[in-house]
Amino acid sequence: MVNFKSLNFKLAVINELIILGYFTEKIEEIEDGIESGKYSEYYKKCSKMEYSGPHPEIYEYFKNLDITDKQLDEITSLSFDGGDDIYLLIAHNWDGEDDLFTVDTLEDAVLLKNLERLEFTFLLKVTDASPLLKLKKLVYVDTDDNNSINDPVTIGKLIDNGVEVDSAGDEDFEECQDDNEMDELEMDEQYSLAQEYLWDRDDPEKALEILDRLVKIKNDDSDIWLEKGNAHDFMGSSDEAEKAWRKAVEIDPENCDACYNLASLFKERGNNIDALAYIDMALENGMEAGEAYHIKAQLEGLAGNDISSLTLLKKALSLYQERAEEEPDDYETIFQIACVKSLLGEEKEALEFLKLAVSMDRSLGKRAMEDSDFERLREKPEFKKLVN
């Protein structure tokens, strides 16, 4: 028995097997049951155009239907068409207005080793099509012009591998790479997708692939360069991150996030002069974040400007506390409050906030051991207990 991760993908596979002649007796039994009135109560509702969802008995049958590897090996073509027979058998008057049969993952595609053609319609909505790259016999993909696959990186790789991709959207993306043409809406969609991979899906490599393509089309977009630097940073390439962030600031000196990132990077490297210059740029351009005042306070303290450092720490603390009130489960903010409390000499409260932060995320204990903000707490038994 083959285990599917997606029931809706399995239903599409079953429909293809029905076309190939499998499960004929059961299909005839269901159709006879419809005609004989076996499912009369359910179909009586359907006849009144009252959508009553999937028929429980039929739905359960297909859900638990065993499929073999041998059967899967016979499938060379697959489609996700809302008008296919299996959907009408399961939910007689389904109108396609809900997500009952929507396929939101292609993880199970790897089960179809002999798949050559993939036909998509409105039932497919995925942002990760990478499993298709493992299908060695795949020669054709039709996304039906409805943005069924929102994954330009994989689409590009499929095309490079010789797969014919039939979709207006993908053709437009190819043209954009060649002709440097893309309207603002398309740019925004691809930029949002890159951010999703970077911040929500923890996939900086894929984000960077999209950003690299976008920057070739629009080289003067500061935000694209900012995110490109962030992607490199997540991947541990600090030199490449620096180049991208510098480009972002060169294009737009008021890009506060890029200025802050450069300040943080230079502080880590011990280049306090450049760090101070960039954090000043961020603050002068209106960045109101605890992190900005925090790093400025650290730099002023290192320069021996204790009074200025104290004022800045209090400002940072105020901003962190405001954020913590709005987002009490934000362990990063709680951790930063502990850092500032330690720098202010409020050791008891610093330990209390650190304890709370570590209870939310144990990895913060190790981070606290390495953070210079907790220098004065290092030898305290309470601190050692928290971080070990």
pLDDT digits (tens, 9 = 90+) for 72-98: 999 999 988 887 888 888 887 676 677
- What is the model's pLDDT at position 174? 46
* Rounded Cα distance, 291 and 176, in Å: 38
CB-based contact 323:290 (threshold 8 Å): yes
31-56 tens-digit pLDDT: 777 666 666 555 555 544 455 578 88
pLDDT, tens digit, for every residue of 237-256?
A: 999 999 999 999 999 999 99
In which domain, by residue range, is 76 found?
A: 7-179
- The DSSP output letter for 145 is T
The angle subtended at Cα 39 by Cα 35 and Cα 41, nearest 5°, is 120
User: Regarding predicted confidence, which is higher, 315 or 215?
Assistant: 315
Residues 128 and 206: their CA atoms lie apart, in Å, by 10
Instruction: Give the tens place of pLDDT for each residue, 145-173.
Output: 556 888 888 888 898 899 988 754 444 44
The whole-number pLDDT of residue 271 equals 95
Amino acid at 243: K
Whole-structure pTM value: 0.58
pLDDT at residue 278, rounded to an integer: 96
Same structural domain for residues 289 and 208?
A: no
- 109 and 201 both lie in a single domain: no
Nearest-Å Rg of the Cα atoms of the chain is 28
Inside any domain, residue 1? no
Last residue of a domain, one of 119, 154, 179: 179
State the total domains in the chain.
4
Residue owning tokens 């899906």: 201
User: What is the distance in angstroms between the CA of the first residue and the CA of the last residue of the chain?
Assistant: 47
Say if residue 124 is in the same domain as residue 166.
yes
Residue 50 confidence (pLDDT): 53
Is 51 or 62 the better-scoring residue by pLDDT? 62
Q: Is 244 exposed, middle or buried (0-12, 13-18, 19+ CB in 10 A)?
A: buried
Let me know whether 240 and 258 are in one domain. no
- Per-residue tokens: 375: 């220098």
Do 61 and 164 share a domain, yes or no? yes
> For 164, phi and psi rounded to 5 degrees?
-80, 120
Tens digit of each residue's pLDDT (9 = 90 or more) over 186-203: 788 889 989 988 998 888
Q: Which residues pair with 103 in a beta bridge?
A: 124
The DSSP code for 377 is: G
Measured between alpha carbons, how far is 388 from 369 in angstroms, rounded to an integer?
A: 9
Residue whose C-alpha is closest to residue 63's, from 22, 13, 106 = 13
For residues 162 and 265, state if they share a domain.
no
Structure tokens given for 196: 């999703």
105: how many CB neighbours lie within 10 A of its CB? Answer: 17
DSSP assignment of 76-140 equals: -EEEE-TTSHHHHHHSTT--S-SSTT-B---GGGGG-TT--EEEE-TTB-BS--GGGGG-TT--E
* Rounded Cα gap, residues 230 and 261, in angstroms: 9
Residue 179: pLDDT over 50? no
Q: Is 356 in the same domain as 231? A: no
Is residue 375 in some structural domain? Answer: yes
268: tokens are 């880590």
Residues 164 and 15 in one domain: yes
DSSP string, 292-321: HHHHHHHHHHHTT-HHHHHHHHHHHHHHHH
* pLDDT per residue as tens digits for the range 369-379: 999 999 999 99
Is 291 within the bounds of a domain?
A: yes
What tokens were used for 236? Answer: 């541990």
Same domain flag for 89 and 31 = yes
Which pLDDT band holds residue 279 (cuts at 50, 70, 90)?
very high
Same domain, 13 and 149: yes
| pLDDT of res. 31 | 77
Residue 257 has pLDDT above 50, yes or no: yes
Q: Which of the listed residues 298, 326, 354 is the one where a domain comes to its end?
A: 326
Domain end (from 179, 205, 229): 179
204 vs 169: which has the higher pLDDT: 204
Query: Are 81 and 146 in the same domain?
Result: yes
What is the C-alpha to C-alpha distance for residues 337 and 343, in angstroms, rounded to an integer?
A: 10
Strands 140-142 and 164-166, how do they pair?
A: parallel
Residues 37 and 121 in one domain: yes
Please state, in angstroms and rounded to a whole number, the distance separating the CA atoms of residues 265 and 271.
9
Task: Judge whether residue 131 has pLDDT over 80.
Answer: yes
In this predicted model, what pLDDT tens digit does every residue of 21-33 receive, in sequence order? Answer: 999 888 888 877 7
Provide, rounded to the nearest whole percent, the portion of the chain with pLDDT above 70: 88
Which H or E element spans position 142? strand 140-142
Task: State the greatest distance between any 2 C-alpha atoms of the chain, in Å, as a whole number.
Answer: 91
| Amino acid (one-letter) located at 307 | I
Specify the pLDDT at position 168: 44
Q: Tell me the mean pLDDT in the region 342-356.
A: 96
| Sheet hosting strand 117-120, strand order edge to edge | 77-80, 117-120, 140-142, 164-166
- By three-state DSSP, how is residue 322 classified? helix
Kindly report the average pLDDT of the chain as a whole number. 87
Distances (CA, A) of 170 to 21, 103, 165, 218, 387: 34, 20, 7, 18, 50
Q: Where residue 127 falls among pLDDT bands split at 50, 70, 90?
A: confident
Instruction: State residue 40's pLDDT score.
Output: 54
